[in-house]
Structures are given as structure tokens and as C-alpha cells.
Amino acid sequence: MNASQSTTSSTKTPSTVRIKVKRQDRPDTDPYWQPFDVPFVANANIISCLQQIASKPVTADGRRVAPVAWDCNCLEEVCGACTMVINGVARQSCSTLLHELVSDGTGTTDEPIVLEPMSKFPVLRDLFVDRSRMFNNLKAIKGWVPIDGTTSLGSGPKEDQASQDMRYALSRCMTCGCCLEACPQFTFDNDFVGAQVIGQALYFNMHETGAELKDDRLEAMEAPGGIADCGNAQNCVKVCPKELPLTEAIASVGRQTTVHAIKSFFTGK
């Protein structure tokens, strides 16, 4: 692909790129760093760099090592599995292109590309993390529409366009964890749930049938670690690769919990 090389014609295109990977052999061992050099291919993504490393797992100083492990699935930024911290920022390694990183501002750069696993989730191995916390939180807020039963429920209720637009935007969440990695209130071991599940609570509360479980969701949202622990740093909305309207979702669920709490103060048990 020589044509692609000419896109950065005014600057020197490096023939290899140094990639520094934060590695960890087991969940309970200490992390360490290893540098790798991979051939520069314009338009390559980070996953293909990792594939290069996997096919020839030799460090920049010539040592043969175990290949770097990572997680991925869709390769088109819809599953969220490949999320890692790339040059300090959480994003998907399938949709992060190499030339965006090396021609950043200065043209070519001698700075290595730094890959780390997300810091807010337990590392299984190398860049592969366990994202169960997000899925467990989805269970806690009952992130589903209750339609199980033995009889036909008939056709669903009609939905207006505005609500559909909002819900479509919220439905794009791929549980990647970027919003949580960037959130100063969400830490490795506290119980804050973060923007991801707040967005999904709104998504299901806005669904006409899903709203049957609204009170349960709001109670989960009012529990320790719920929405009240958001500090409004609004990093989540800026890093979300699927551009969910997270701050609007947080404010909406904030309003729902306010109303719910006042109602249950006066009418609850």
C-alpha cells in the first residue's frame, strides 16, 4: 500500500514504530513494561500492531517473550471488548489508527506508543481486563424489559420520535468502560457505578414496558455507589466513543431519583 504512505508526505514516515506495553502475567502478579518494534503501516490499527507482535513476539531488545494478550471481538467499535488505555486515554484498539498517533502534530515522533490495560478493572492478563463489574451493575438496575410470561402481551406501545431519538442514542452503549476509566469518581475498588449504567437505567426507564421496573431501578440508583456519587466532572461524555448523551442522562436520572425520593418520603412505607 504505497499510496497510503503519501498521505503524510511532508513529514518523514517512520518505518517502524516503538510500542511500549504494560504487561502482567497473571491477575495477582506485578505489572512490568516491555518495548516492541512493529513495522509502520499507514491505516493500521492498534489491534494489527498487536497481531504483528503476536506473530513475532520479540522485544525491541531482541528477547523472545510470550505474546501479548488482549481482548477483541467485532473489530468495528461496537462490542467494546478491545478497550485499553492508549497514550494515557481510554479508547478502542480496533478503531485507533496508527498514523493518528505517530503523525500527531509533529509529524513523526520518537515517542513510543504506550498501551496499558484499563486501570479501573482487574487485569486478567496483559491488556485483557475483566469487565464484569459493568455487567453486574446492569443486573442490579434490572437492565431489561420485563416481557417474560405465558400469554401474548400484544403489540408494544407506540413511542414518539423524540423519545426514540434519545433512546437510540442511549442504546449504542457497548459496555466498553471508557466512561468509567475516565471518571475521577469511579475507582478500582469503590462502589460507584458510573455513567455507563446510569445511561442504561434511563434507557430502560424510558421504554414504555421497561418502565414497569422504574422504581426498582431508581432504588438501585439511590443506593450507595448510585447516581448521587457522580461529581459532575463530565469526562464520561467526552470520552464515550459511541457519543452517548451521558451528562443529560445523568441529569435526567438525577431528576427521576429526586422525584422518586420525595414521593417515597411522603407515600412510601
Q: Which residues bind ligand SF4 (CB under 6 A)?
A: 80, 173-179, 183, 185-186, 194-196, 199, 230-236, 240, 242, 244, 246-247, 250
Given the complex with other proteins, which of 26 and 64 has the nearer CB atom?
26
Decide if residue 81 touches ligand FES (CB under 6 A).
Answer: yes
Q: How large is the C-alpha radius of gyration of the chain?
A: 22
Return the H-helix or E-strand segment holding 30: none
Decide if residue 28 touches other proteins (CB under 8 A).
Answer: yes
Q: Give dist(CA 102, CA 185) in Å, integer.
A: 31
Torsion of CA 198, 199, 201, 206, to 10 degrees: 140
Report what 199 binds from ligand SF4, other proteins, ligand FES, none; CB cut-off 5-8 Å by kind.
ligand SF4
Question: Would you give the binding string for other proteins spanning residues 201-240, x where CB under 8 A is met?
Answer: ---------------x--xxxxxxxx-xxxxxxxx--xx-
The dihedral through the CA atoms of 142, 144, 149, 154 has a sign that is positive
Report what 178 binds from ligand FES, other proteins, ligand SF4, none; CB cut-off 5-8 Å by kind.
ligand SF4
Decide if residue 97 touches ligand FES (CB under 6 A).
Answer: no
Query: What are the grid coordinates assigned to 45, written together?
Result: 490499527
Reduced to 3 DSSP states, what percent helix, strand and coil does the chain have, rounded to the nearest 5?
35, 15, 50
Classified as helix, coil or strand, 178 is helix
Question: Would you give the binding string for other proteins spanning residues 142-181, x where CB under 8 A is met?
Answer: ----------------------------------------
Minimum distance of other proteins from residue 150's CB (angstroms):
27
